[in-house]
Amino acid sequence: MGNSRVTVREIARLAGVSVATVSRVSNGTGQVSAELRQRVLDAIELHGYQPDHLGRALAARRHGALGLVFPGLSGPYFSELIQGFESEAVPARASVHILCTHLREDSDAQVLEMARRVDGIAVMGGTISEAALLRLADLVPVVVLAGQGRDAVPSVGVDNATAMGRLTSHLLTEHGLRDLAFVGTPEGSPDVSQRWAGFLAAHRELGLTPPGEPVRVSMQQPDGVLAAEQLLRDRRPPDAIVCANDEIALGALVGALGRGLRVPQDLVITGFDDAPMAALVSPPLTTVRQPVRELAAEAARLILRAASTPDAPAPDSIVLPTELVVRRSCGCPTGTPTGGTGK
Amino acid sequence: MGNSRVTVREIARLAGVSVATVSRVSNGTGQVSAELRQRVLDAIELHGYQPDHLGRALAARRHGALGLVFPGLSGPYFSELIQGFESEAVPARASVHILCTHLREDSDAQVLEMARRVDGIAVMGGTISEAALLRLADLVPVVVLAGQGRDAVPSVGVDNATAMGRLTSHLLTEHGLRDLAFVGTPEGSPDVSQRWAGFLAAHRELGLTPPGEPVRVSMQQPDGVLAAEQLLRDRRPPDAIVCANDEIALGALVGALGRGLRVPQDLVITGFDDAPMAALVSPPLTTVRQPVRELAAEAARLILRAASTPDAPAPDSIVLPTELVVRRSCGCPTGTPTGGTGK
DNA sequence: ATGGTGCCTGAAACCGGTTTCTGTTAACCG
DNA sequence: CGGTTAACAGAAACCGGTTTCAGGCACCAT
C-alpha cells in the first residue's frame, strides 16, 4: 500500500499550499506559478498520490463509465460486440460495466440499478421490458443495440429483414429451392424476429408459401446440431436450412455432415453474421455480413456524446449496411461475386 | 427525468425531517419512529428518490464493483468465465467492470486505472506484466485467474500440466501413437504453457522424444483450421494433433475433414476444456473438462471476501479438479469410461 | 498618486451520501 | 417524586475531490 490513502488535503499540507492549488496542478486547470507547481508535483511524486475516482466523479457528477447489457454471451457475435464497445469506451477514459440478464429473473431491476453507476447504457434489443427501457431512458442516455428504438431511445442496428429477404430470394430464385426451413427463435430477439420476417416476406413476394413455423432453438452451435438432427430425422427433410446466425449454421453443418449428407448437394445451409469460421468450413458458408464491431462502437460513441451534452436532442437511430456473402453452402459454384450491399 | 436529481436533503426538507433520518430510513439502520418513517417513505415514494451511488460509495469507501481483466474474448471459454464471475458478483450487489487488454498496448496503465474504480480485480494469467501485477496487489485485492499467483497474490486455476500429461499418456500408451503435434502458443498464456509442459513431460516419462516445437497459433477455431492445413500439407503429417483448447481442435477437425481425412482412423485430434460442441461433432472430441465457470465464481468469491475483510491474511491459491473425457476422436471405440479425475 | 487590469492563491462551498455526537423526551424504577 | 435509562431526532463532521469567489499583489496607464 502506501499511495492508496493519500488525499488532496494531505498533499496540500505537505506542499504547504491549499487544496485548490493541488487540484489545479493535478488537473492542469487554472493558473499556478512555476514554483508552487513544482512543490506540488514533488509532493505528488514523493507520496504517489492518485486522485480518488469517487471523489472526482462525485464532484464532476459523472461516473466515467458506460454500461453494456446483453442477454447472455455466446459465440463470436458477442465477443465482437463487447470488443467494439470497449474499443470506443476506453480511449474516452470510460470504464465498461457489463450485465448478463439471462442469468437472473429480476433483470429490469438490475439494469435500473446499473443506471445509477454509469453515464449511459447500451441495451441489446429484447433483453429488458419496454417499461424498464423507458424508465431507464429517463435516468441516463440509452441506446438500443440490435433492436427497435422507441420514442426518444435511439437504436443502432442493421436492416435484418431486407438482408435476410435478399438471402432467401437468392435461394428461391437462383437455386430454385422450394422447401426452406428457418432455424431460430423469433421471440428471442428483435434480430431473429426481423430475420424471420424477411424470410417470410421473400416467399410471399414470389407468391410462395413459407413454412408456418420456424425451428425454435437458441443461438449457439450445439443448438444448430440439435436443429439439424431434428429436421433431418423428419420423413420429409427440407431442401435448405436457413439459420438465424452462423453459429447455428455451423452446428447444423456439423449435424448434417455427421449424418452423411453432402452440402450443398443434398442439403443447403446458410447463416447470418459472417463469423470467421464461416469462410473456413467446407463447404464455406453462404451468409450475410454485418459490421458487429462497428455497431457496438457506434453505440458507444452515441452514448458518450449524449452523456457529454445532456440537453442535446435525442440522436437519430443508425442503420449500418449489410452484405450478402455468397459462398458454396447454398449451391453456388464458388465465391460468386453476387455480393449485394444492403442499405 | 424527475427522480434523477432528488437528493437526501431534498427529501429531508419535504418530509420535514433531518437528512440523518432519511438516511436511516432508506438504509434501515438505526431507530426511527413509525410516524417519521412513514413520512419519509411517502416522500421517497412520491419523488422516486434513489440514493446516488457515488455519494454512498464515497462515504462507505467502497465501490461495490469488481474488475475482470482478460486478454481478449474468444469462444465459449471466456463466455463461461465472464458468466461465472458475474453470477457471483451481482448477487453481492457488485457491478462488473471488464477490460480487454489485447486491444491496446498500455494495458498496465489501464489496469492500474481500473484499480481506482473497483474493490478488487481478477486478472487472467499472462495479461499484464509482473510488475504491474504487484503494484496492483498493492492497491486492491487481486487474484490471478488461470495463471501463477505470486507472493501475496493468490490464484485460481486447474492443474493443466497433469491434465494434459494424462491425456498425452493416453494417446501414447493406449493408442500407441508416436508422432504427436501440439498446437498452441505456450508463450501466449500460462494455461497453454503448462499444457505444453505436461505434453512434454508425458513423452519423457515414457522415454519418448517429443516434438521440438509446438505449432504456434491463437486459440480460436479459425486458427485450428489454419494449423491443420499447415500440418497436413507437410510431407510427413503427424498421427495426432493435440490442441491447446477445444476451439483449436474443432477448427482442426474441420480442416482435416475438409481435406478428406478420416478422424480418428487417419488422424487423431484432441482438445481441452470440454466445450459444448466437443460432444456434438463427429467424431466427438476427446478432451479435458475443466470447471471454467466455477473457476471464475471462485475468483469472485475470493475477491469479495478479501474486499470485505481488508486486514485478513492473503487467502491460499485454489486448484480445481479436471477430468479426462475420452470420446471417439482419439480412437477409442466409444465413450469409454476411462474418465480419470485430476487433482 | 490613483485607478484599473491580470495573475495567483486560498478559504469556503459544493457534489450526495453516512455517521458520530449531543440533546430532548418519555418510560421506568425504587 | 427524583433519578437513571432507553429511544429517538437533528446538527455537524466527514468521505475526497472540484470550483467559485474574493483578496492580495504587481504592473501599467493615466
Q: Which three cell numbers stand for residue A31?
A: 493558473
Cβ-contact B110, B84 below 8 angstroms: no
Is a pLDDT exceeding 50 seen at residue A1?
no
Distance A34 CA to C3 C1' (A): 29
Is the Cβ pair B96, A99 closer than 8 Å? yes
Residue B80 falls inside a structural domain: yes
Residues B103 and B146 in one domain: yes
Last residue of a domain, one of A249, A275, A290: A290
State the CB neighbour count (10 A cutoff) for residue A26: 17
CATH number where A209 lies = 3.40.50.2300
Residues B152 and B168 in one domain: no
pLDDT given for residue B2 in this prediction: 44
pLDDT tens-digit map of A227-243: 999 999 988 999 999 99
State the CB neighbour count (10 A cutoff) for residue A236: 6
Residue B3 falls inside a structural domain: no
Cβ-contact B285, B249 below 8 angstroms: yes
Residues A285 and A315 in one domain: no
At A248 the three-state DSSP class reads helix
Q: Which three cell numbers stand for residue B116?
A: 481506482
Residues B94 and B144 in one domain: yes
Residues A177 and A232 in one domain: yes
Distance CA A149, CA A144 (A): 6
Separation in Å, CA B220 to CA A272, A287, B151, B246, B295: 19, 20, 32, 9, 21
B29 touches strand C (CB under 7 A): yes
pLDDT tens-digit map of B98-117: 999 986 788 899 999 999 99
Question: How confident is the model over A129-134, as a mean pLDDT?
Answer: 92
Residue A326 falls inside a structural domain: no
Distance CA A262, CA A245 (A): 21
Cis ω before A283 (30° cut-off from 0): yes
Residue scoring higher pLDDT (B107 or A269): A269
pLDDT given for residue A4 in this prediction: 63
Pick among B53, B139, B223 to test the A interface (most A CBs inside 10 A): B53
Residue B57 falls inside a structural domain: no
| Nearest residue of chain B to residue A89 (CA atoms) | B99
Share of chain A above pLDDT 90, in %: 87
pLDDT given for residue B311 in this prediction: 79
pLDDT given for residue B102 in this prediction: 83
Question: How confident is the model over A253-269, as a mean pLDDT?
Answer: 95
Considering all CA atoms of chain B, what is the largest pairwise distance in Å, rounded to the nearest integer?
88
CATH number where A34 lies = 1.10.260.40
Give B 259-298 residues with CB within 8 A of chain A.
Answer: 276-277, 280-282
Task: Report how many helices (DSSP H) and strands (DSSP E) chain A contains, helices first.
Answer: 12, 11
The interaxial angle of helices A75-89 and A292-308, nearest 10 deg, is 30
Q: How high does pLDDT run on average in chain A?
A: 93
Report which secondary-structure segment, H or E, holds B23. Answer: helix B19-27
- Closest nt to residue B24, judged CA to C1': C18
Residue A329 falls inside a structural domain: no
pLDDT given for residue B1 in this prediction: 40
pLDDT given for residue A102 in this prediction: 83
pLDDT given for residue A104 in this prediction: 76
State the CB neighbour count (10 A cutoff) for residue A149: 21
Residues A166 and A240 in one domain: yes
Residue A297 CA from chain centroid, whole number:
9
* Number of structural domains in chain B: 3
Strand extents, DSSP E, B16-119: 65-70, 95-100
Cβ-contact B244, B234 below 8 angstroms: no
- Closest nt to residue A25, judged CA to C1': D18
Residues B278 and B166 in one domain: yes
- Which domain, by its residues, includes B111? 63-158+292-320
A52: left (phi over 0), alpha (psi -120 to 50) or beta: beta
Distance CA A242, CA A166 (A): 12
Distance CA B122, CA B303 (A): 8
Q: Which three cell numbers stand for residue A187?
A: 421471440
* Partner A contacted by B114 (CB < 8 A): yes
Residue A334 falls inside a structural domain: no
Distance CA A268, CA A184 (A): 16
Sign of CA dihedral A250, B241, B223, B201: positive
Residue B312 falls inside a structural domain: yes
Could you write out the three-class secondary structure of B197-264?
HHHHHHHHHCCCCCCCCCECCCCCHHHHHHHHHHHHHCCCCCCEEEECCHHHHHHHHHHHHHCCCCCC
Which residues of chain B have a pLDDT value below 50? 1-2, 336-340, 342-343
Instruction: Write the residue in B55, B87, B100 that is nearest to A58 by C-beta.
Output: B55
Determine whether A190 is exposed, middle or buried from the number of CB atoms within 10 Å of its CB (0-12, 13-18, 19+).
buried
Residues A152 and A255 in one domain: no
Is a pLDDT exceeding 50 seen at residue A174?
yes
Is residue A52 very low, low, confident or very high in pLDDT (cuts 50, 70, 90)?
very high
Residues B194 and B179 in one domain: yes
Distance CA A87, CA A83 (A): 6
pLDDT given for residue B340 in this prediction: 46
Instruction: Write the residue in A79, A90, A103 that is nearest to B87 by C-beta.
Output: A103
Question: How confident is the model over A35-43, as a mean pLDDT?
Answer: 94
Is residue A339 very low, low, confident or very high in pLDDT (cuts 50, 70, 90)?
very low
Cα angle value A18/A23/A24 (rounded, 5°): 95
Residues A259 and A154 in one domain: no
What DSSP line would sit under A113-182, residue for residue?
HHHTT-SEEEEETTSS-HHHHHHHHHHS-EEEESS--BTTB-EEEE-HHHHHHHHHHIIIIIS----EEE
Residues A222 and A134 in one domain: no
Cis ω before B284 (30° cut-off from 0): no
At B321 the three-state DSSP class reads coil
Separation in Å, CA B290 to CA A158, A273, A292, B223, B296: 37, 30, 30, 22, 12
- Closest nt to residue B59, judged CA to C1': D15
pLDDT given for residue A105 in this prediction: 82
Is a pLDDT exceeding 80 seen at residue A340?
no
Residue B164 falls inside a structural domain: yes
Distance from CA of B334 to the nearest CA of A (A): 15
Residues B297 and B150 in one domain: yes
Tell me the backbone φ, ψ of residue A223, rounded to 5 degrees: -65, -30
Cβ-contact A231, A256 below 8 angstroms: no
Distance CA A95, CA B96 (A): 10
Sign of CA dihedral A8, A10, A11, A12: positive
pLDDT given for residue A313 in this prediction: 85
Give the sheet arrangement for strand A318-320, strand by strand: A318-320, A155-158, A142-145, A120-124, A65-70, A95-100, B95-100, B65-70, B120-124, B142-145, B155-158, B318-320
* Partner B contacted by A74 (CB < 8 A): yes
* Partner A contacted by B65 (CB < 8 A): yes
Distance CA B129, CA B67 (A): 17
pLDDT given for residue A103 in this prediction: 67
* Partner B contacted by A53 (CB < 8 A): yes
Cβ-contact B327, B333 below 8 angstroms: no
Q: Which three cell numbers stand for residue B9?
A: 436533503
Cβ-contact A114, A128 below 8 angstroms: no
Strands A155-158 and A318-320: parallel
Is a pLDDT exceeding 50 seen at residue A2?
no
Sign of CA dihedral B58, A95, B294, B87: positive
Distance CA B87, CA A99 (A): 10
